[in-house]
Amino acid sequence: MENKKKKSYRPYSHNRSTPKDVLVKVGQKFPLTIKRLGINGEGIGYYKKKIVFVPGVLPNEVAVVKVTEVSPKFLSAKVMSIREKSPDRVTPLDEHANIVGGFELEHMTYAAQLAFKKDVIAQALEKFQPRDWQSINLRDTIGMQHPYEYRNKAQFPVRKIQGELKMGMYARGSHELIDLPVVHTQDPLTMTVMRKVRDLLEKQSISIYNEEKNKGTVKTVVARASQTSGQVQLTFVTNTDGFPGDSELIQVIQKELPQVVGIFQNYNPGRTSLVWGDETIKLWGQDYIEETILGKTFQLSPRAFMQLNHTQMTVAYETAITALDLKHADRLVDAYAGVGTIGITLADKAGEVRGMEVIPEAVDDAMINAQINGIDNATYEVGTAEQLLPQWQKEGWIADALVVDPPRPGLEPALKKEILRTKPEKFVYMSCNPSTLARDLVELSKVYRVDYIQSIDMFPQTPRWEGIAKLTRRK
């Protein structure tokens, strides 16, 4: 496909010169023309040559904004009114879209969202400039037919505020919990369970965590639904290792929420920004829920990672299968293997799959998932790239193909070094961060040609990006 840009939504840069004589105060208001969107979906304009970040606005809009933060390098502001609206502006379905996170682009037409996500990777490549970056084929973003109701996990804090039990998300930039009866990006099954659990917590007079006093029990409720089996896994994250009233609560949940097949408690004491603690115990029911991906069945424990969008995860895996073009003699390395979803999905196409993961529980789950699916050519080991790749080479096992799916910080330096040393012929990089992908390609492109990057909209109504890069070893 041609690399055409009808619109430009450029990620911001702090490299612009910042005038020192701009005197701006918090609370000051002024009109602002929005030039582009930043990587977090915020509007960007300039006031007397100083960069201004404004959530909730679109390119080419003129808004009256009010300054909320003054920094030596930038200003933050909020919208007071919009004088000139973009034709790409729509009314969000969620009434709290401009208050809480997770809906940063819901005021933007879906076509414009997809264009923005293609341009995000273009601008990241321009910033880092890996070899031949200008000739990389950037494919149009693959979107969803129905870009709502896709999130298969809800993870909401619970607090009692002025006598009212609230379950939802925090307002952006604050610690104010907003009760959310409806979230249009969530799978309706998760919201049905969450709202019923909220009511049951109140009805059963279950102890709720008080952050100011650092007392009470239930902090967060997590519901994960399988979009293929309809099963729901419920986890209560608690401040105390005991759970007063859990027996009565479990009995009522069994009666009123038959879709819940397993209930767990995760112990995470004290004031912390981390949602999960290290210890998880089963209170009742099944150890796992089952999810099916491209005909393969996977068992998921409460902490097991799985993409939040089953539909687009399937698209991503199909894209990776096509990009790798595996032959039955190929030896495939599945780095960042998790519970084995990628490697097991690809195992039928390859001669042998070896996965690596640093979390022992994930490796155990991966081996179980391989066994469930009758996969005898995929094995998983605990360890890092610098440990396992040289060890496998000493055994005479040399990879022909590689698939990586790293977290947002991108490839670990040791893995990158091993990739450049071993040079598998076929290579697919699944990325959730355009900036770290482009950064990693600076070194990788010395050995590999980037055939194309396919953007996939894994998180509609948000600025989050997902993409697959097909790399081929240079001759």
Residue at token pair 């009511």: 199
Is it the case that residue 21 has pLDDT exceeding 90? no
List pLDDT tens digits, range 201-214.
Answer: 999 999 999 999 99
C-beta separation of 205 from 192 below 8 A:
no
pTM check: above 0.85: yes
Beta bridge partners of residue 329, listed in sequence order: none
The pLDDT mean for the chain works out to 93
| Amino acid identity, position 399 | A
Two tokens at 381?
Answer: 């080991």
Mean pLDDT on 121-127: 95
- Tell me whether residue 464 is one of the annotated catalytic residues: no
Closest CA to 121 of 11, 19, 213, 26: 11
427-461 pLDDT, tens digit each: 999 999 999 999 999 999 999 999 999 999 999 99
Confidence of residue 24 (pLDDT cuts 50, 70, 90): very high
Confidence of residue 168 (pLDDT cuts 50, 70, 90): very high
- Please compute the mean of the pLDDT values over residues 363-388 and round it to a whole number: 94
The residues pairing with 144 across neighbouring beta strands, listed in sequence order, are none
Residue 14 scores a pLDDT above 50: no
State pLDDT tens for residues 281-331: 999 999 999 999 999 999 999 988 899 999 999 999 999 999 999 999 999
In three state form, how does the secondary structure of 168-181 look?
EEEECCCCCEEECC
Q: Is the predicted pLDDT of residue 369 greater than 50, yes or no? A: yes
Segment 398-414 mean pLDDT = 95
- Residue 173's pLDDT is 79
Q: What is the mean pLDDT of residues 96-108?
A: 93
pLDDT value at position 172? 85
The tokens describing 173, both together, are 């930039």
Cα–Cα separations (whole angstroms), residue 310 to 37, 348, 444: 28, 21, 30
- The string of pLDDT tens digits covering residues 216-225 is 999 999 999 9
Rounded average pLDDT over 142-154: 98
The pLDDT assigned to 23 comes to 86
In this predicted structure, the answer to whether residue 92 has a pLDDT above a threshold of 50 is: yes
pLDDT digits (tens, 9 = 90+) for 63-84: 999 999 999 999 999 999 999 9
**pLDDT at residue 388 in the model:** 94
State how far the Cα of 318 lies from the Cα of 214, in Å rounded to an integer. 47
Running DSSP on this structure, what letter comes out for residue 364?
Answer: H
Give the model confidence (pLDDT) of 380-397 as tens digits: 999 998 899 999 999 999
- Average pLDDT of the segment spanning 172-195: 95
pLDDT reported for residue 35 = 96
Round to the nearest angstrom and report the end-to-end CA distance of the chain: 24
Could you give the 3-state DSSP secondary structure of residue 461?
A: coil
Question: What is the Cα–Cα distance from 326 to 137, expressed in whole angstroms?
Answer: 21
Least confident interval from 164-168, 172-176, 401-405: 172-176
- State the catalytic residue, choosing from 58, 320, 350, 432: 432
On the question of pLDDT at 366 being above 70, the answer is yes
> Averaged over 33-50, what is the pLDDT?
94
Instruction: Give the pLDDT band (50/70/90) at residue 20.
Output: low
